[in-house]
Chains A and B, each alone.
Chain A
Amino acid sequence: MIEFSNVSKSFGSVQALNQLNLQISQGKIIGLFGPNGAGKSTTMKMIAGLNQPDSGNVLVDGKKPRQNRARIAYLPEIDHLYGWWTLQQAADFTRSFYADWDDTKYQEMLKFLNLDGEMKLGKISKGQRAKCKLLLTVSRRAPYLLMDEPLSGIDILTREEIINTLIHDFQEGEQTIIISTHEIDEVESLVDEVYFIDQGRIVVSGAAEELRMEKGLSLVEIMKEAFRHAQQ
């Protein structure tokens, strides 16, 4: 379980998180939705232990995120891979860092994603690079998988491959995947629970199916409604 209790964080004069409260249970796929600048990335980085709150507490399974580094696989939005590496070199590098690397899984997913270990990361398309990043992240058997805008700027076919990979791979009950995106439509059928963030606060949250039944609206429509209210 991931818990945020009254977490606030500012960067200079910009307040990124404002008394944020969250309780994310294990074994589900969570959607973190909101407009650009809402605080999604800051939240993700905090769970990964890359950021500290100014006030309030963040706990992952009862411990501070930094103590849980090994259990969290974080796929950031920006490219953290060196262009002159081949995919295999990047895999070797990642594997040297983490004890939970599963090489059988890596080989299986390499084929599933139609990738090649000899691909030079700097020379492949954006979509292929997104798949490589995904591959490196899922090849670790980490109980928490954080994906920051995994579909951003990616062509439709590659997006489908990425989503298929997540479905194929997801270990219900054991693994927790948190996806932040502003493309809610793409992941509408994928998420168990959702958190809508605006200006550093949660404006709507709940189980996706329950929200649909309660409001008779899709998640996209629920978000639009939430933001219309927030702006008033």
Chain B
Amino acid sequence: MLDYDKSRAIYKQIIEAFQKQLVRGELSRGDKIPSQREYALQARVNPNTVQRAYQELERMGMVETVRGQGTFIQADEAMIGEIRQKMADSILDHFLEEISSLGYMDNEIEEILNRRRKENKEAKPND
């Protein structure tokens, strides 16, 4: 079930949801993804929107539709690596923007990051 942000394009969030699954290893090359209609029903989204997302995924080379059989993940390790980096960059950009708006300087960022990671590890040593 897609939990989407209504102030952003839905088709982009569908693409991102698949990208996340790929990066996390929940989906791999050769896996079959739901048909457009199935996806639209599960996510409760307009089938046209799903079609747009699937077309974009195909254009990006992430999936391939085989007539009569379905849609399959086509992305290889290299592509998944690229996606992972792009997603990380996006998160990092957001983090850097927010953290500097709090007044932290560049040279402090590494320090506060390590400090916090250490604190979190000590709080939950088994994670």
**A residues 165-193 with Cβ under 8 Å of B?**
167-168, 170, 172, 188-192
Proximity bits, A151-174, B CB within 8 Å = 1, else 0: 000000000100110011010100
Is the Cβ of B48 less than 8 Å from the Cβ of A29?
A: yes
Give CA–CA (A218, B7) in the complex, Å. Answer: 4
Question: Which segment, of A33-41, A42-50, A133-141, A208-216, faces chain B?
Answer: A208-216
Is the Cβ of B46 less than 8 Å from the Cβ of A189?
A: yes
Give CA–CA (A167, B36) in the complex, Å. Answer: 11
Proximity bits, A111-133, B CB within 8 Å = 1, else 0: 00000000000000000000000
Is the Cβ of B9 less than 8 Å from the Cβ of A167?
A: no
Is the Cβ of A167 less than 8 Å from the Cβ of B8?
A: no
* Residue in chain A with minimal CB distance to B45: A189
Is the Cβ of A172 less than 8 Å from the Cβ of B47?
A: yes
> With a CB–CB cut-off of 8 A, which chain B residues contact A219?
6
> With a CB–CB cut-off of 8 A, which chain A residues contact B52?
209
Give CA–CA (A191, B9) in the complex, Å. Answer: 12
> With a CB–CB cut-off of 8 A, which chain A residues contact B17?
none
Is the Cβ of B7 less than 8 Å from the Cβ of A209?
A: no
**B residues 1-39 with Cβ under 8 Å of A?**
4, 6-11, 37
A191, A220, A221: the one contacting B46 at CB < 8 Å is A191
Q: Is residue A28 within 8 Å, beta carbon to beta carbon, of the partner chain?
A: yes
Q: Is residue B41 within 8 Å, beta carbon to beta carbon, of the partner chain?
A: yes
Q: Is residue A81 within 8 Å, beta carbon to beta carbon, of the partner chain?
A: no
> With a CB–CB cut-off of 8 A, which chain B residues contact A27?
48
Is the Cβ of A163 less than 8 Å from the Cβ of B48?
A: no
Q: How many of A's residues come within 8 Å of B, CB to CB?
A: 24
Is the Cβ of A167 less than 8 Å from the Cβ of B10?
A: no
Q: Is residue A217 within 8 Å, beta carbon to beta carbon, of the partner chain?
A: yes
Is the Cβ of B44 less than 8 Å from the Cβ of A216?
A: no
B6, B7, B46: the one contacting A167 at CB < 8 Å is B46
> With a CB–CB cut-off of 8 A, which chain A residues contact B44?
160, 163-164, 167, 189-190
Is the Cβ of A164 less than 8 Å from the Cβ of B46?
A: no
Give CA–CA (A225, B40) in the complex, Å. Answer: 29
Q: Is residue B49 within 8 Å, beta carbon to beta carbon, of the partner chain?
A: yes
Is the Cβ of A209 less than 8 Å from the Cβ of B49?
A: yes
Proximity bits, B43-71, A CB within 8 Å = 1, else 0: 11111110110000000000000000000
- Contact sample, A vs B, 16 pairs, CB 8 Å cutoff: A29-B48, A167-B40, A167-B44, A170-B46, A172-B47, A172-B48, A189-B6, A189-B43, A189-B46, A190-B45, A191-B46, A192-B48, A212-B7, A212-B10, A213-B9, A219-B6
Q: Which residues of A contact B (CB under 8 A)?
A: 27-29, 160, 163-164, 167-168, 170, 172, 188-192, 209, 212-213, 216-221
